[in-house]
Chain A
Amino acid sequence: MQWLQILVLGLMLGGVYAVMASGLTLIFGVMRIVNLAHATFILLAAYLTFFLFDLLGVDPILSIAITIPVLFLVGVGVYLVLFPRIENSPRFVESTVLLTFGLALLLEGTMGRTFTGTYRLVRPSYGVESFLIGDLYIPKGQLYALIVSAVLLLLLAALLYGTRIGGSIRATMQNRTAAQIVGVNVRRTMALSFGIGIALAGASGTLLSFLFPFFPASHWEWVPVMLALVVLGGLGSLKGALVGALGLSVVAAFVMSEFGPTWQPMTFFLALFLILLVRPQGLYGKPLEA
């Protein structure tokens, strides 16, 4: 039954992956921004969670209530400072890749300077405990992370499909001109979407903070992971992000048990590389064009 154990472990991480990927794909879908700095925002939230736990003893899962609004505001601010200026640039998507790359370097350097390069990990009691169901070993931390992720994704769906703001986000994703002519304030919608995307990065950062050790440069480990999830599903497709996250996390879990943890990241690198070459539109998306 070892394969079942691997499958379960893979799927549990898939939830967190899906939260990371949904923010990234939302940002691309609405604004056509490829956000290479997404993982630095994840780390920012992880550090916030770490210090809340370390200094004030706030449980990491509860601190989501802080990281989400903080990162939302950071996201809106970053959007308004960086992107309206290049809105009409002829190679917009490409410019966003470089711009967010610069942002990633800036944030990584600042975090390195502020938080030092030490490995950090938030250690709540459930970080090391686990349930045993039959032969199945279920780490508590991962299970809680999965539950929180599922709740967050449901809330995201409710926001997108049940509210006026959600309507304007979906409209802008599907056709920006059309959204504009039916009266959607597109600039505000884009700023909000960027904020929501970064808030999702913040939520996933909080969850990662007690699942994986992190340090300022470790966002480079997550960039290819997220890109692979999102490109597999199709950039801009939320359904794709979910399918990609669950699919690849399971594959990566099997690669890990077969070839060891060293080669686990290769799953994502290779997936990313091959999808871009063979099917750049992924499962449900549009191909990446300049």
Chain B
Amino acid sequence: MATVTPEELERRRAELARAETRAARQNRVLRLLVAAIALGLLAFPALRGTFSAFNYVIQVLIVIMMFTAMASSWNIMGGFAGYISLGHNVFMVIGAYVAGMLLVYRGVSPFISVFLGVALAVVVGVLFGLVTLRTRGPAFIIASIALLLMTRLMLDNWDAIEGANGLSLPIPDFFPTLGKVPMYYGMLAAAFGAVGLAYGISRSKFGLALRAIAMDEIKAEVAGIDTRRYKIIALALSAIFIAWAGTFWGYTLNYLRPSAFLSVAIAADMALMSIVGGKGTVAGPPIGAFLIILVTELSVWLFGPSELNLAISGTILIVVLLFFPLGIVGTLQSRQRDRLARLRAAVEDTGEAVMKGA
């Protein structure tokens, strides 16, 4: 540090400024990209009838948006608050069955009953929170698995909803004319809603409190955060768009049965997508959902539908946990942050050295 000249300081300052503008420009580009994707998704159904693979593409998009909604919601609890759950698809089955039963027995449109399903899911979320949030860390994960399995066993044996055999939903009247487009918009609303909710939380004081809980719950409590209440609210909020997605997924399948919603694989996918994309980030879960569905489709295309998908999911989860525990977005963010911090520190150091030398 002995040979630091004022010129060196200038050079480092300029480098920092360059890096800061570059980061700002990148952020602007990303924001434009997000807007473009949103507009593209809104407009996509207009292409109906223009190309032969439309039905396939819209189906894949519905699945991606469903998992975007579910992974983003899962992330409120698993990422922001640090409570990893492997039972969040319980909320999905609630949305699906409330809407499905109302459709079968009362002919209510899912676009109305979705709100009932969401309301019930939120209530269940609060109850679930009141009971299970006494545990934390690994105990919470295991309790959530137990909850999933109990729910599955009960629904499988509940005669009123036809148990494990499940029940068919009537084909909606608009189907011949509109195809999957209404379901597409239902799922789009879930995806936008969930990402919007996550974005809102991430920028709020509530989100800050959740992060504090994830970091160190005891310290958060000492700092005056009512951790129990915040966790329960977070769990209830995370139920909303999972139930919403469940409603339209049931409707898309035209068939309800517990195994379609309450499988361990779906619980795993929510966690996997969030972790791959970046736990605790807003952009991570959608990116994770997109990538995992892409890989799944690719593997189906290459090897046919098989258990291989499961093996691939497992491998991705292991590789990410071992080598990129922060996920894609988390790793990129922390790299950018570290770079800027290093440059700033370099400017300060040279500044000090120059002052001392003078």
Contact = CB atoms under 8 A, between A and B. Distances in A.
The reply, when asked whether chain A contacts chain B directly with Cβ atoms under 8 A, is: yes
Interface of A: 34, 82, 85-86, 89, 91, 93-99, 101-113, 117, 216, 220, 223-224, 227, 231, 262-263, 265-266, 269-270, 272-273, 276-277, 280, 287-290
Interface stretch (B34-42, B140-148, B246-254, B347-355): B140-148
B227 interface: no
Interface in B296-319: 306-318
B172 interface: no
Interface residues of B, number: 42
B75 to A, nearest CB: 14
Given A106-B315, A107-B314, A97 B147 contact: no
Contacts of B132: 277
* The 4 A-B residue pairs with the shortest CB-CB distance in the complex, in nearest-first order: A112-B307, A109-B311, A105-B314, A106-B314
Nearest to B215: A90
Contacts of B134: 277
Given A102-B318, A262-B157, A277-B132, A89 B147 contact: no
Nearest to A100: B318
B154 to A, nearest CB: 8
A115 B137 CA distance: 35
A104 to B, nearest CB: 7
Contact of B307 (A109, A223, A263, A290): A109
Interface in B185-213: none
A113 B308 contact: yes
B321 A216 contact: no
Most A CB contacts (10 A, CB to CB) among B135, B136, B314, B316 go to B314
Interface secondary structure of B, over-half rule: helix
B151 to A, nearest CB: 9
B307 A280 contact: no
Given A105-B265, A273-B143, 11 more contacts: A86-B321, A94-B138, A102-B316, A106-B311, A109-B314, A111-B307, A272-B142, A272-B146, A276-B139, A289-B136, A290-B137
B321 A290 contact: no
29 contacts: A89-B325, A94-B137, A94-B138, A94-B141, A95-B321, A97-B142, A98-B271, A99-B318, A101-B86, A102-B313, A103-B314, A105-B314, A106-B315, A108-B311, A109-B307, A109-B308, A109-B310, A109-B311, A112-B310, A112-B311, A216-B307, A231-B142, A262-B157, A265-B149, A269-B146, A270-B150, A280-B135, A280-B139, A290-B138
Contacts of A266: 150, 153
A273 B306 contact: no
Contacts of A216: 307
A109 B313 CA distance: 9
A34 B143 CA distance: 13
Contact of B311 (A113, A231, A265): A113
A110 B149 CA distance: 23
B314 A102 contact: yes
Contact of A277 (B135, B322, B325): B135
A224 B318 contact: no
Contact of B310 (A89, A96, A105, A290): A105
Contacts of A273: 143, 146-147, 150
Contacts of A96: 138
Interface secondary structure of A, over-half rule: helix
A224 B299 CA distance: 30
Contacts of A224: 145-146, 149
B138 A101 contact: no
A105 B146 contact: no
B322 A288 contact: no
A102 B275 CA distance: 12
Contact of A98 (B145, B275, B308): B275
Nearest to A290: B137
B222 to A, nearest CB: 18
B29 interface: no
A91 B325 CA distance: 11
Contacts of A110: 307, 311
A227 to B, nearest CB: 6
Contact of B146 (A94, A262, A276): A276
Contacts of A263: 153, 157
B317 A98 contact: yes
Given A93-B138, A99-B321, A265-B153, A109 B312 contact: yes
A105 B135 contact: no
A269 B311 contact: no
B74 to A, nearest CB: 13
Given A112-B306, A277-B131, A269 B150 contact: yes
A289 to B, nearest CB: 6
A98 B78 CA distance: 12
B84 interface: yes
